[in-house]
Amino acid sequence: MYMFDEVRLKRRIEGKQALLDEVLKPYKPNCHYLKSAFVEYTDDAISSLTSGQPSTGVMTAWGQFSIPESCYIAATGHFNAVEYNICYNQLGYYLLAECFQHRLLAPALDWTYSEYLHRQLPDCLIVEFSSAFRKPINSLDFQGMVSFDVVKVKSKATFIQTSCSFSDAQGGRAEGGALLALLHNTAAPRK
């Protein structure tokens, strides 16, 4: 028997270069690894995410990456742990930007897009982070995804449990996750 309530229709937001450029502004030019991206989400994304049950894939960013030269080390010949973290950050920041621009996290977190840009670095924190490398990834051309799985609103921060993965056309693969904290109140106003 086919259950209609188990089917979630996905919506797609095509990434615009201007938004991607804005999100990557904090990075040095030689560290702009994310080349293009888009977001997929379901209509019930925020209710699914705030239910407390893991809901992988209801709000996901997909990105295309290229690392022609590492920003910190001589060529290793493969995608490594530091680059994994940087790519996770870039795609995660992009997903948050689209969420705030399209109000996809409201009412759990009701920042404006402009407010997010001011708070991107000081108030969006990684609390926990994990990664596992299954097969080496060619860092010149690979894909990644970051998915918001659970959102919990507390008094001082909104916590987002995420999952992520990276892969290439040759079967390279890495996966992991992170717990994000988006701080509600800051000690001093941002300029």
CA angle, 57 then 90 then 145, to 5°: 25
Beta-sheet strands, E only, within 78-171: 124-135, 142-153, 157-167
Q: Kindly state whether residue 190 falls inside one of the protein's structural domains.
A: no
Q: Kindly state whether residue 4 falls inside one of the protein's structural domains.
A: no
| Residue 113, domain extent | 9-183
> Total structural domains in the chain?
1
Please tell me the distance from the alpha carbon of residue 95 to that of residue 144, in angstroms, as a whole number.
12
Q: Kindly state whether residue 191 falls inside one of the protein's structural domains.
A: no
pLDDT tens-digit map of 137-168: 999 999 999 999 988 989 899 999 999 999 99
Predicted model pTM: 0.88
Q: What pLDDT is attached to residue 52?
A: 67
pLDDT tens-digit map of 161-178: 999 999 999 999 999 999
**Quick one: which of 147, 140, 151, 154 has its CA closest to 183?**
154
List the CATH number of the domain containing 154.
3.10.129.30
Q: What pLDDT is attached to residue 2?
A: 39
Is the CB of residue 73 less than 8 Å from the CB of residue 50?
Answer: no
Average pLDDT in the 88-112 region? 91
Q: Kindly state whether residue 3 falls inside one of the protein's structural domains.
A: no
Residue recorded with tokens 């973290």: 85
Axis-axis angle for helices 81-101, 17-24 (nearest 10): 120
